[in-house]
Structure 1
Amino acid sequence: MDQAKAALEQAMAEVGEKKGSQTVLVLTNAAYARLDGDSAVGFLDVATAVTGATFGARSLLGVHSSMLSPLWFSLYSPASNTLVYAVQKDGAFAIQKIDANPEHLLTPDNWKAAGSGIIGGSLFSVASISLAWAVAPDYMSLQAASFHDHFCPGVNYGLIIGDYIEKRFPLGPGDSYVFAVAPSRCAADALQVMYNTTTGKGGDYGMGISEADLAKYAVNGVKPTAVVMRVNRKNDVCDAVALGIDSARLYADIKMDEAELSPAGGGQNPLFYIARTRASREMCRLPKEQRIGYVVELAKTSGKADLADKITANDPYAKVFGK
């Protein structure tokens, strides 16, 4: 912990911030990681002591990682456009300083150069959450991104659907949500965080479906993202709705082309991660009322409570669309 404290102090100097600053973000996997073979959770107190960052101030976020991972942390200051990443490596902390000005970092050459440092494959995780944080998304958005370990458009889709159903498909007494996300993608994690519908408790199902089968359910070009079920076991009822995101309109409004998410070479191309980081940042700028306006109700059905079991047993859209 002494080494970690020293690395934090160095990082604070590098980003040009003082303890208690409201313009510095601390990210770390300390709640999950190990430090010299033991739990690194104590680092959270060290981080607050050195930087003044706290969970309550939304300036300290715990990013999900494997418990086998080494301890890492990052400090980001939008005021200085500086990001400092540190990770325990070979018994000491290695540190990397990155120019995090979006106009600089979100270009292929500079992204590749930054990723060639010790941050490596964690660049997308750290940069996507940090740059989105700078445009002040709500705390639930930050929680979902931290749990998912990066901020991507799919997490935004889940957040948008989650906000939509709270307002347009609300729970009544004794009701609970069950989600079937197909194909199984990032939206499922956001919904799980928002409503505590974990896979273990049977509330969040990530399901497989081919693109060809998915296309059969498209309505005016909008493909379904998930089936949301409102289940009341006591009253033996289930209402289900298939929801999709009008991504064409969404990307037009953030002045991006959705095709940017699928560059030649896929994940080997820096543009793959750059586009996702940019898109998530821009989606976070949109007011909640505008965001939920991109949700499209594609089909509905109702039945007894066991309808939820039937929907989650196979193709989840078949029952809702009556196919």
Structure 2
Amino acid sequence: MQPEPPYVADKSSRASHPFRRALLRGLGIVLPPLLTVVVFIWAWTLIDQYVLQPVEGVASWTLIRLEWDVRRVPPDEADIDDYQLLSTREWIPRHVYERVTENPGSERPVTASQYYRRYVRIQYLQPWIVIPTFLLLFISLLYLLGWLLAAGVGRLMWASFERMIDRLPLIRNVYSSVKQVTDFVFSEQTIEFNRVVAVEYPRKGIWSIGFVTGESLLDIRSAVNEPVVTLLMPTSPLPMTGFTITMRKSETIDLDMTIDQAIQFMVSCGVVIPPRQLQRPEPASRLSAELFSTAKLPEPATSADDSSSSSTQDSGKNSSPSASNHKPSKS
């Protein structure tokens, strides 16, 4: 019975679908920067919609009240050249009318309120003025809040505010969760990871990556009578959350990878592997061919060989006693 030849991958299957491979390779190049831009655009849209536009609306209303000079009756003859009559029988300053006429926007204003709204927009609320001013005021406000909360009175006021939030049934759950995340991200006491290790967690046979954060507790070390370490076992694909465990130091394996590489490995769910940790196995077809060539397979015995060997053994048995009884004749 002849053994089956080893399986050799068809080279034509590897070369098939070149368009799909090129398309996937192109997506792998384009998607990271594209998604980065999309995330920043999404964040800026939220800030513009919920923060910048309300602030801009308040600023526009304030400036309109300060600049407001609308008359229902004709001005004096000495001032009539400084005003312009609208179709709504309202008189507005001529410089406002001319400035808006030069840049009316998508819809031409009709009423005095619309003229002033457009005038304030193009005169004071240009994007190159609004955005830097908003950022400066926002940073200044954050600084003042931080300085105020560092003082005793501000800390008491903030504690009273949080106690009031804790009394609200639904809001307190959302607020407490958001506060835990912000406290972890913006805390001044940062967690320093010493190194990256691999441990069998959550059971034997399953290997997980963790960050060494310290030497754990003295009572645990005394109980096990050997060095122990504290590990943060992050979850994938969001490594900012996880579990804190204590392991024997002898049961950990130091990995040749940085903290950033370990985080990339977790965020990508194991797709992004550091170059030093890449496995380079030989192709399956080559391995199977080598194993097949070096293997010693037993040869099956045929029926003819069995009969000949049995007859030889029988003749040997029959001839042995005759040979032993035969005596040579004396001459």
Normalising by structure 1, we get a TM-score of: 0.20
More helix by share: 2
More strand by share: 1
Larger Rg: 2
Greater relative contact order (Cα 8 A, min sep 6): structure 1 or 2? Answer: 1
